[in-house]
Amino acid sequence: MDVSDKDSRSRRNFLKGIAAVGTAAAVPFGLADHAEAAKKKKEIIVYRLQSRGTVSCKACKLHHRFVISLKREIADKHRAHPGCNCPIVEQKLSRRAFRLLFAAEALRLGFVDLRKV
C-alpha cells in the first residue's frame, strides 16, 4: 500500500505541475490577443446635443439630429439658437465611421453637419 500511495502522490504532483506550466504559458498569449483586439476596436468619443427625452423646440429637434462635434465646447457653440439649453451627450463612433464623417474640412472645423455629407 505504501508504494501505490507514493505513486499516486507523485502522479498527482506531476499533473499539477503540467497544469501550472500550461496555464502559465497560455496566459501571456491570451492577454496579448485581448490587447490587440482592444486596439483594433477602439472607439472615438464625439459629442452631440440631445433632444430625445427632453422638452425641446422643433428647431432643436431638427438641428441636433444632424450635428456631431469633436469637443463639448464646439457642440456648445453650435446650438440651434441662442436660448437652447439641450444637454450635450457623448457618443462613441468606430474609427471607420469617424474617418468617413470627419474629412479634412470637418476635422478643421471640429464638427460635421450630416445634411451636408
Q: In whole angstroms, what separates CA 89 from the centre of its chain?
A: 15
Residue, of 74 and 6, whose pLDDT is higher: 74
What DSSP string describes 38-84? Answer: HHHT--EEEEEE--TTS---HHHHHHHTTEEESSHHHHHHT-SSTT-
Reported as a single tens digit per residue, the pLDDT across 6-57 is 656 677 777 777 766 666 555 555 555 555 555 566 899 999 988 877 778 8
Q: Look at residue 100 and tell me whether its pLDDT is greater than 60.
A: yes
What is the SS3 assignment for 108? helix
pLDDT range class, residue 76, cuts 50, 70, 90 = very high
What integer pLDDT is reported at residue 39 of this predicted model?
A: 59
CA distance 52 to 85: 13
From the number of C-beta atoms within 10 Å of its C-beta (0-12, 13-18, 19+), residue 57 rates as: middle
77 vs 5, 10, 47, 90, 102, CA distance in Å?
79, 73, 12, 16, 18
pTM, whole model, 2 decimals?
Answer: 0.60
Please give the residue that has the higher pLDDT: either 64 or 24: 64
For 106, left (φ over 0), alpha (ψ -120 to 50), or beta?
A: alpha
State the pLDDT at residue 63: 86
Confidence of residue 5 (pLDDT cuts 50, 70, 90): low
Q: What is the mean pLDDT of the chain?
A: 79
